[in-house]
């Protein structure tokens, strides 16, 4: 979320000092977080404590980070972020909050924070930055468009509460799939994926992509699966597979999502892929039920599902399982040449100091 004031005339931009936050900044950052929550009337969603932040973030192995902006030694703005993995298993920097104290707005603070983040993404070869903005926050939307962000027309749906528990219960029931060539249902087994499954998963992903978007099919490689997930010491994603008669016919990849407002992480579905020959047989629902059981077992807060608007099958399945669409926010992305131009702005600001 972002909180920005209306432009104030007659004020000149200054050059704030931008750096990464440290643990010592947490009390001040937590105060800014509360100011943001009050301004956007979302205090009920701020469930985390300062202790949660000390435990989860801002250290060398922190789950999330923050850039802070200082003017005359005072911390006046923050940008909280964490690194995500997308459906192609590439890195994305996700901005959770961008907040500037009211007396210091329209002085170039927000732009400086975004430029430094773009420079950080370029240094680490991270190809994109994403964020979500409330639909009624016109000032923030204008800022992001001015910096080169483009609106993404996808759908975000959330599974939580009683609907999640009901979905988790389904994982405890015996799941079966009726293969078209057989009269009797054959049991479907859902299990965690491992390194030995990579070759089959690459082939399944390729065949599914060709069936769905034959002209634009791009698939992760075996190295992507091993390096970032199934063979990594600190995996950035995990996977569940559905087996029918010893053959993998479906896969669901997911990763943890950490939010500064929440005391526990959430799970996000990165990709849900079913063999074209086995679709419409509840395989996707079985995988989602197993994921719901994992969320319930570990006390995660919810499941996030990001879908393209044209994916009507995914939308129908998510509604059936109890997902609720998030209608009050939109996704913006910065990538390619606009990201590099914004990163260059940070370098120019440094050279002028």
Judged against a pLDDT cut of 80, whether residue 112 lies above it is answered with yes
Report pLDDT for 330: 84
Q: What is the DSSP secondary-structure string of 233-281?
A: SS-S-EEEEEEETTEEEEEEEEEEE--TT-SS-EEEEEEEEE-GGGTTS
57 burial level (CB within 10 Å; 0-12, 13-18, 19+): buried
- The per-residue pLDDT for 8 is 42
Q: Which residues of 271-308 are buried (b: 16+ CB within 10 A; e: fewer)?
A: bbbbbeebeebbbbbbbbbbbbbbbeeeebbbbbbbbe
For residue 10 the two structure tokens come to 């007659």
Q: How confident is the model at residue 2 (pLDDT cuts 50, 70, 90)?
A: low
Contact at 8 Å (CB) between 230 and 193?
A: yes
pLDDT score, position 352: 47
pLDDT at 214: 57
| CATH value at residue 49 | 3.40.630.30
Q: How confident is the model at residue 350 (pLDDT cuts 50, 70, 90)?
A: low
88 vs 51, 61, 219, CA distance in Å? 34, 24, 7
| Residue 319 is assigned to a structural domain of this protein | no
**Residue 65 sits in which domain range?**
2-153+330-352
Same domain flag for 94 and 57: yes
Give 180 or 259, the one with higher predicted confidence. 259
- Do 167 and 147 lie in a common domain? no
Which pLDDT band, with edges at 50, 70 and 90, does 113 fall under? very high
Q: What is the pLDDT of residue 88?
A: 67
Query: Is 84:92 a contact under the CB 8 Å cutoff?
Result: yes
CA distance 251 to 353: 51
**What pLDDT does residue 9 have?**
41
What's the rounded mean pLDDT across residues 177-197? 71
* 206/256 same-domain check: yes
Q: Is 90 exceeded by the pLDDT of residue 49?
A: no
Q: Which two tokens stand for residue 351?
A: 């050279």
In the chain, the DSSP E strands lie at: 2-3, 17-20, 65-71, 74-85, 91-100, 128-134, 150-152, 154-159, 176-177, 186-192, 238-244, 247-257, 266-274, 303-308, 324-325, 329-335
Domains of the chain: total: 2
Is position 320 within any domain? no
Return the bridge partners of 132, or none: 331
What's residue 218's pLDDT? 59
**End-of-domain residue from the set 301, 318, 340:** 301
pLDDT over threshold 90, residue 104: yes
Instruction: Give the number of other CB atoms < 10 A from CB of residue 142.
Output: 12
Residue 73, pLDDT score = 92
Q: Is 337 contained in some domain?
A: yes
Indicate if the pLDDT at residue 110 is higher than 70. yes
Residue whose C-alpha is closest to residue 86's, from 123, 130, 49: 130
Query: Domain check: are 22 and 101 in the same one?
Result: yes
Same domain membership, residue 148 and residue 169 = no
Task: Assess whether 132 and 6 both reside in one domain.
Answer: yes
Q: Are residues 293 and 173 in the same domain?
A: yes
Structure pTM?
0.83
DSSP 82: E
Q: Is residue 307 part of a domain?
A: no
- Assess if residue 234 is contained within a domain: yes
Residue 7 has pLDDT above 50, yes or no: no
107 and 145 co-located in one domain: yes
Residue 313 lies in a domain: no
Please identify, among 301, 317, 341, the residue that sits at the C-terminal boundary of a domain.
301
Over residues 199-224, mean pLDDT: 74
Model confidence band, residue 243 (pLDDT cutoffs 50, 70, 90): very high
Residue 325 lies in a domain: no
Higher pLDDT, residue 28 or 225: 28
Tens digit of each residue's pLDDT (9 = 90 or more) over 135-148: 888 889 999 999 99
Higher per-residue confidence, 183 vs 201: 201
Output the pLDDT for position 30. 93
Tokens 């750096």 correspond to 19
Cα–Cα distance, 336 to 127 (Å, whole number): 7
Torsion of CA 135, 267, 294, 248, to 10 degrees: 110
Q: Which residue, of 301, 317, 339, is where some domain finishes?
A: 301
In this structure, the answer to whether residues 190 and 253 fall within a common structural domain is yes
Contact predicate 228/237, CB 8 Å = yes
Is residue 179 domain-shared with residue 247, that is, in the same domain?
A: yes
Query: For residues 106 and 8, is the Cβ–Cβ distance under 8 A?
Result: yes
Nearest alpha carbon to residue 75 among 53, 93, 101: 101
Q: What is the mean pLDDT of residues 263-278?
A: 90
Helix 283-298 vs helix 312-321: crossing angle, to nearest 10: 50
Q: What's the pLDDT at 68?
A: 96
Q: Give residue-wise pLDDT tens across range 311-330.
A: 888 888 899 999 998 878 88
> Of all residues in the chain, what percent carry a pLDDT higher than 90?
39
Please compute the mean of the pLDDT values over residues 28-38 and round it to a whole number: 93
Say what the pLDDT of residue 310 is.
80
- What mean pLDDT, rounded, does the chain reach? 84
Q: Which residue has the higher pLDDT, 2 or 83?
A: 83
- The pLDDT score that the predictor gives to residue 63 is 79
Same domain, 124 and 176: no
Question: In this structure, are 22 and 149 located in the same domain?
Answer: yes
Residue 174's pLDDT band, with cuts at 50, 70 and 90, is very low
In a domain, 312, yes or no: no
């Amino acid at each position: 979320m972002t909180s920005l004031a209306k432009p104030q005339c007659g004020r000149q931009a200054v050059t704030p000092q931008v750096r990464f936050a440290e643990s010592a900044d947490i009390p001040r950052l937590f105060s800014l977080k509360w100011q943001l929550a009050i301004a956007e009337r979302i205090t009920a969603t701020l469930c985390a404590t300062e202790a949660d932040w000390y435990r989860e973030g801002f250290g060398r192995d922190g789950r999330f980070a923050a850039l802070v902006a200082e003017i005359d030694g005072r911390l006046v703005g923050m940008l909280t972020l964490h690194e995500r993995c997308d459906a192609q298993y590439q890195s994305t920097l996700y901005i959770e909050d961008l907040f500037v104290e009211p007396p210091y707005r329209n002085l170039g603070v927000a732009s400086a924070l975004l430029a430094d983040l773009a420079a950080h993404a370029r240094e680490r070869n991270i190809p994109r930055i994403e964020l979500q903005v409330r639909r009624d926050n016109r000032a923030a939307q204008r800022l992001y468009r001015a910096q080169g962000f483009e609106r993404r027309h996808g759908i975000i749906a959330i599974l939580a509460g009683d609907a999640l528990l009901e979905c988790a219960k389904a994982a405890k029931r015996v799941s079966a799939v009726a293969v078209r060539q057989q009269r009797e249902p054959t049991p479907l087994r859902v299990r965690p994926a491992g390194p030995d499954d990579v070759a089959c998963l690459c082939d399944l992903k390729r065949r599914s992509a060709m069936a769905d978007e034959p002209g634009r099919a791009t698939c992760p490689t075996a190295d992507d699966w091993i390096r970032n997930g199934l063979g990594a010491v600190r995996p950035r994603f995990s996977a569940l597979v559905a087996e029918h008669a010893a053959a993998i016919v479906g896969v669901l990849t997911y990763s943890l999502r950490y939010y500064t407002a929440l005391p526990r992480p959430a799970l996000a579905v990165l990709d849900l892929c079913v063999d074209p020959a086995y679709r419409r047989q509840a395989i996707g629902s079985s995988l989602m039920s197993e994921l719901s059981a994992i969320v319930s077992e570990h006390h995660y807060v919810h499941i996030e599902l990001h879908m393209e608007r044209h994916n009507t099958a995914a939308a129908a399945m998510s509604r059936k399982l109890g997902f609720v669409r998030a209608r009050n926010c939109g996704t913006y992305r910065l990538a390619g040449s606009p990201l590099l131009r914004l990163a260059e702005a940070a370098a120019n600001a440094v050279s002028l100091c």
